[in-house]
Chains A and B, each alone.
Chain A
Amino acid sequence: MISWSNFISQCINGVVLGALLALISSGLTIIYGTLGVLNLAHGALFMLGGYAGWYTYEHTQSYFLSIVLGALFVLLVGIIIERVLIRFFYSRTDEEQILVTFGLGIVIVEIIRLVFGSLSESIPIPHWAQGITSLGFMFYPTYRLVVVGIVALALFSLWLILYRTNLGMIVRAGIEDSEMVDMLGINVYRVFMVVFGVGAMAAGFAGVVNVPVTPITPDVGEDILVETFVVIVIGGVGSFPGAILGGLIAGEILSITSMFNPAYSQVMLFVVMTIVLFTRPYGLLGSKGRS
C-alpha cells in the first residue's frame, strides 16, 4: 500500500527530476528551433558536464567551482563542436544531421570511458546542503530542494537572455525564420554558434548539478536523451516555455509511475506523448513553426 507521505515525496521527486529535464530540454529545443539540427549528442553533453564537474571537484574540492567550470567547459566544447562539425551540416538532410550528432554522442561517451573508465563517480553533497529539511508535514533531502532552486535560477537566467536581450530577440526570430534574420544584416551563423554553445551548456550545467544525486557513468546520458526528446515533443518543439512545462510533466510521470512499478515509467512517458500528439500535434505550447 502506498502512503500519502510516500506519494507526496514522489511528487516532489518528480519536481526535482522535472526541473532537471526542463533545463536539459530547453537547451535541446533552442538548438533545434534555431539551427534546425536535432542534436542527438545532447545526452552525451549532459554526461560530459557531469564528468567535468566531478573532475573539477576532485582537484579543487569546491562544489561552486565544479558547477561553474563544468558548465563553462561544456559551453566551450559546444562552440568547438559547432565550428568544426555541425556548421557543415546545416544544408544537409535531416538524416545526415541525425547521424552525425548520433555518432558524435558515441565518440564523446567512448572518450570519457577511455579516460575515466566505466565505474560510477560522484561529488559529495556540499556540507551546507546535507541532511533533511522539514516541509512541515514531512522531511525531504535538503540537496534535492537546492537542485530545484539552482535549476530554477538557471532557467530564469535563460529566460532573461531569451526575452530581455537583443541576442534573445535574434534567437527567437531565428527560431521562426533564420533566413529572414540573415537578410536583416545579422550574421545568423555566428548566432547559431552561440546558441549551440548555450544549449550545450544548459545540458552540461544540469549534468553537474545532478552528480551528487545520481552518480555518473559514461552511459548516464542515454536515458536522459530519450526523456528530453519526449519532453520537447510534449511541450512543443522549439518552445522554451514548452520545454519547462514538458519537463515538469515528464518528471511527474516518471516519478509517480515508478512508485507503482519502475519498469513502466518510460512506457507511461510514451503513452502520454502519444496522447499529446493525437490531441495537439504541435505539442502543448508549440506552434506550427519552421517549415
Chain B
Amino acid sequence: MSLLNVKELNSYYGDSHILFDLDFHVEKNEVIALIGRNGAGKSTTLNSLIGLVKPRSGSIILDGKEYLGQAPHVIARAGMQLVHEDRRIFGSLNVEDNIILAGLSEPKRWPLEKIYEIFPRLKERRLSSGTDLSGGEQQMLAIARALVRDPKLILLDEPFEGLAPVIVQDLVRVCRQLADEGRTIILVEQNIPATLNLASRAYIVNNGHIVHEDSTASIKANPSVLQRYLGV
C-alpha cells in the first residue's frame, strides 16, 4: 500500500477550477517531484494535501486513512508537513523557539541537537530572531521546523527559489541526505536539474492536470517530454 494515495482530486480558488481529477501516489521512502510551469497547479496540489486549500472532491489517503477536508493541524498530526514556498518563519520568535513551537504537539519530536547536527548554522543563530535570518537560513529553519516533527511525508515547495547557488548546493546536499535516510518527500521545484537528481519519479503537471508520469532516470534519458510541457 502506498504511503499517500491521491484520487480524483479537484480544487478550486473561488469559482476557478484549478486542479482536475489529480491521481498520484507516493510510496514510503520515495522522493517524487511535481514538475510544471508557473501556475500549473503544483503549489495548489501541495496546499490541498495539507488542508490549506479545501478540495471540492476526491480522496487523500495517508497511511490508510482519509484526510480530505480535514484541518491542517489534523493532517499535520497525521504526519504530513508542508515547507511553504514563502517559508513563513515567525519573526517574533527566535530560531530555537520556531523549532520548539513546531515540535510542541508532536510526542515523537526530535531533540534540538538532532536538528542542529543537520543544520549547524541554525545552532549558531539559535537566539537570532526569525526575521534577522538570510534567505538560506530561513529555508533551513523552515525545513527544520518540518523535520522536528519526524513527519512521514514532507512536502517541499520551491525550497531553492531565490537563493544563491552556493546555498542551493548546501540545501540540495541536505535534501539528498534526507532522501538517503529514507524520508518520503514530494518536491516542487523550478530547478529541473536539481529536481531530477533528487527525485526518483516525477509527475508533470500542466494546467491542473497530470499529463505525464515517469522515473526521473528515463526523463533524463529522454528530455523531450520536458521540452513539450515546459519548453526547456
Contacts and interface: CB of A to CB of B under 8 A. Distances in A.
Interface of A: 166, 169-170, 172-173, 175-177, 179-189, 287
B52 A179 contact: yes
Query: What's the interface size class on B, roughly?
Result: 20 to 34
Nearest to B90: A173
Nearest to B78: A185
B52 A173 contact: no
Contact of A180 (B71, B88, B100, B106): B88
A175 B90 CA distance: 10
26 contacts: A166-B101, A169-B93, A170-B104, A172-B92, A172-B93, A173-B90, A173-B101, A175-B92, A177-B88, A177-B90, A180-B84, A180-B88, A182-B73, A183-B76, A183-B84, A184-B73, A184-B145, A185-B104, A185-B105, A185-B149, A186-B73, A186-B101, A186-B104, A187-B71, A187-B73, A287-B91
B148 to A, nearest CB: 9
Nearest to B93: A173
A186 B90 contact: no
Contacts of A169: 93, 97, 100-101
Interface string B78-117: 0001101000101111000100111011100000000000
Interface string B122-151: 000000000000000000000001000100
Contacts of A177: 88, 90
Contact of A184 (B91, B97, B101): B101
Given A169-B100, A187-B73, 18 more contacts: A169-B97, A173-B93, A176-B91, A176-B92, A180-B90, A182-B71, A184-B73, A184-B76, A184-B104, A184-B105, A185-B73, A185-B77, A185-B105, A186-B73, A186-B101, A187-B71, A188-B73, A287-B91
Nearest to B92: A172
B90 A172 contact: yes
A173 B92 contact: yes
Interface residues of chain A: helix, strand, loop or mixed (majority): helix
Which of B52, B71, B72, B82 is most buried by chain A, counting CB atoms within 10 A of its CB? B72
Contacts of A181: 101
B19 interface: no
A186 B100 CA distance: 12
Contact of B50 (A172, A183, A287): A183
Contacts of A186: 73, 101, 104-105
Contacts of A170: 101, 104
A180 B84 CA distance: 9
Contact of A183 (B73, B91, B93, B104): B73
Q: Considering the complex of A and B, which 4 residue pairs feature the smallest CB-CB distances, nearest first?
A: A185-B76, A185-B105, A180-B88, A182-B72
A180 B92 CA distance: 13
Given A169-B97, A169-B100, A170-B101, A183 B90 contact: no
A187 to B, nearest CB: 5
Contacts of B81: 183
A182 B100 CA distance: 15
B192 to A, nearest CB: 27
Contacts of A287: 91
B17 to A, nearest CB: 21
B101 A183 contact: no
Contacts of B93: 169, 172-173
A188 B71 CA distance: 10
B111 to A, nearest CB: 17
A183 B51 CA distance: 8
Nearest to B131: A287
Contacts of B71: 182, 187, 189
Contacts of B84: 180, 183
A177 B72 CA distance: 13
A45 B100 CA distance: 35
A149 B165 CA distance: 57
A187 B105 CA distance: 9
